[in-house]
Amino acid sequence: MSYLNSWFDDRTAIRTLPPECVSDCTGPGPADEAVAYWVRELQFDGPAWLIREHLSGYGAWDRSELCDHQQNLQRLLRVWAGYIRESGDDLLYLMR
């Protein structure tokens, strides 16, 4: 599969999330709809194996949960938005 709109060069994000996305995905209350919207709106995507590997490092999801690429994209976007909100740093590096 080709990732022409890829968000990643190897393990480093080459784009950043817009401030509106960060705000919508990290505000008070449930954010599932906002996260799903922003994944679609931004065409947020990347190699499934790389995202799955990164998310597994959090220990929050088991192997069977990490088999759903669309859910993983939402998980990653939410985690990244939270990181930006807390740290102010928009760099994302997908860890092993």
The reported pLDDT for the residue numbered 27 is: 82
- Where residue 5 falls among pLDDT bands split at 50, 70, 90? low
In sequence order, the 6+-apart residues with CB closer than 8 A to the CB of 13 are 7, 80, 91, 92, 93, 94
What is the tens place of the pLDDT at every residue in 10-38?
A: 888 899 999 999 999 998 889 999 999 99
* CA–CA gap between residue 1 and residue 87 (Å, rounded): 33
Q: Which pTM value belongs to this model?
A: 0.89
